[in-house]
Homo-oligomer: A and B are copies of this chain.
Amino acid sequence: MPKATNQDLKKMLRDHELKATSQRIALLKLLNNTYKHFDAEELYLELHKRQKNVSRATIYRSLEALVDQELVNKLDFGDGRMRYECSRGGDDHHDHLICEQCGKIVEFLNIEIEAQQLAVCEENGFLPTTHTMYIFGICADCRNLESEPEIG
């Protein structure tokens, strides 16, 4: 898809009842144009690199607002800091494989798992709002490296 223009992002914010500040536009642009899972500090540094001196407090506050509006997803990989990825429209739900060696993240969606989750909720009279599922392990690339013969 084409990169979003500032006007697009401005509209996106206003459509979600968020004021279109330059800080939020810069943040959203970064998340939309770079397909990556950022943590707050990476966003802070990346914005400064681009001469957008957004404060850390604003980054956290803006991310919270964007997550509330489902423009951004917040991910918890269990290492003590949250990651953020842009949400790609209505039904972009997916889960993650996380390589413990190189940190690579692979997204996946398994219909059967999603269906079984709903079944479990139903059995328990539980009304689900969200769920998180992360599978940790060693990715294909890192496994190959491991089995590579030593360079003599």
Decide if A132 touches B133 in the complex (CB within 8 Å).
yes
Binds B, one of A15-23, A50-58, A65-73, A117-125: A117-125
How many copies of this chain sit in the oligomeric assembly?
A: 2
| Interface residues on chain A, size class | 20 to 34
Residue of B nearest to A137 (CB): B128
Binds B, one of A3-11, A26-34, A40-48, A106-114: A106-114
For A112, the chain B residues whose CB sits under 8 A away are 112-113, 116
Decide if B143 touches A136 in the complex (CB within 8 Å).
no
A contact set with B: CB distance below 8 Å: 76, 78, 97, 99-100, 106, 108, 110, 112-113, 116-117, 119-121, 124-140, 143
| Pairs A-B, 5 closest by C-beta atoms | A125-B140, A128-B137, A131-B135, A133-B133, A127-B138
